Amino acid sequence: MSASSKKSPPQQIPKVYKFLFGGGAGMAATLFVQPLDLVKNRMQLSGEGGKAKEHKNSLQALRSIFRNEGLTGIYTGLSAGLLRQATYTTTRLGIYMTLFEHFSKDGKNPTFLMKAGIGITAGGIGAFVGTPAEISLIRMTADGRLPADQKRGYTSVFNALYRIATEEGVLTMWRGCMPTVGRAMVVNAVQLATYSQAKENLMRTGYFKDNLFLHFVASMISGLATTTASMPVDIAKTRIQNMKIIDGKPEYKGAIDVWIKTIGQEGFFSLWKGFTPYYFRLGPHTVLTFIFLERMNKLYATYVMGNSSAGGGL
């Protein structure tokens, strides 16, 4: 058979695999960082409503979890964390990679502003899809800090979703959807755009090649920028999704109400409460997600498409 008659291998990874690889990478990363997500949520809820702070720092929160809930307590809410990645991250990374490819023209990547716009779009859609798993995760990780008579006692994310829908109404699964979507738009605009841009800029220096070390450095830069920008939105989301209805009235009217009450009762910098566990959760999660994703894309391109020179696709 002549070379001209051979069927050329496809030049792009099929869209369905972009989504599957995105979700798979996020779920794999969550297995490593779930304990940090738990500590971050506990820190953000500590001192809520003007009460005395339960945890002064992340180490104290971690010791409290070990003491009161045991070794397995640090993985409370894992099923919800995995479902969140299966919905939210599958959607956001799949859409981002698809749009990134669409707007790459003549071998040139999209501009930074275009990357940010793609990230906003991908994050907003992904967050809406992932909100039910998100609210289950918040409640499951918060349960251990409540008195025995106030614990919700969800046995799994599916039990949480069923009980939320039957006890509080289906729409409750999208409670806090607006701050969740807002946070995701901020996170993805910063995270995905800075990661892609950091990769480009680092490679231009001539000191980096498209390899594991480059992905690690770009991910850490992305994680720091994302943590700083997104924490105020994240704390509003966390408190709204965990709030109870008291005498028929919700504790908070919305994200702005959370910020006003939080700043008034706990100070301005409380909007970055839990920064350390948030960064040490988001940083490694960003690193691991992008590394897993880049490797999945690279392996598919090499062994399925027959293109060993292909990059990771971000």
Q: How confident is the model at residue 226 (pLDDT cuts 50, 70, 90)?
A: confident
Confirm whether 313 is domain-assigned.
Answer: no
Q: Which of 20, 30, 56, 36 is nearest to 227 (CA)?
A: 36
Instruction: Express each pLDDT in 23-52 by its tens digit.
Output: 999 999 999 888 887 887 777 777 665 565
User: Residue 64 is part of a domain; what is its CATH number?
Assistant: 1.50.40.10
Q: Which residue has the higher pLDDT, 288 or 310?
A: 288
Q: How confident is the model at residue 7 (pLDDT cuts 50, 70, 90)?
A: very low
Asked whether 231 and 271 are in contact (CB, 8 A), the reply is: yes
Q: Give the separation between CA 102 and CA 141, rounded to whole angstroms.
A: 38
Residue-level pLDDT at 1: 46
Domain that holds residue 196: 11-301
Q: Is the model's pLDDT at 259 over the cut of 70?
A: yes
Average pLDDT, the chain: 84
Instruction: Express each pLDDT in 227-248 by its tens digit.
Output: 888 888 888 888 887 787 777 7
Instruction: Express each pLDDT in 69-123 by its tens digit.
Output: 888 888 888 888 899 999 999 999 999 999 998 898 877 889 999 999 999 999 9
Task: State phi, psi for 245 to the nearest 5 degrees.
Answer: -90, 120
Confirm whether 312 is domain-assigned.
Answer: no
Collapsing DSSP to helix, strand or coil, 305 comes out as coil
Q: Give the separation between CA 243 and CA 313, rounded to whole angstroms.
A: 40
Confirm whether 175 is domain-assigned.
Answer: yes
> How large a percentage of the chain has pLDDT more than 70?
91
Confirm whether 85 is domain-assigned.
Answer: yes
Confirm whether 4 is domain-assigned.
Answer: no
Total tally of structural domains belonging to the chain: 1
Confirm whether 137 is domain-assigned.
Answer: yes
Confirm whether 147 is domain-assigned.
Answer: yes
* Token digits of residue 79: 């099923």
Asked whether 116 and 188 are in contact (CB, 8 A), the reply is: no
Residue-level pLDDT at 127: 93
Using CA atoms, how far residue 90 sits from 37, 58, 211, in Å, is 19, 30, 23
> How large a percentage of the chain has pLDDT more than 90?
31
Using CA atoms, how far residue 313 sits from 40, 98, 109, 186, 293, in Å, is 31, 10, 10, 22, 9
Asked whether 113 and 100 are in contact (CB, 8 A), the reply is: no
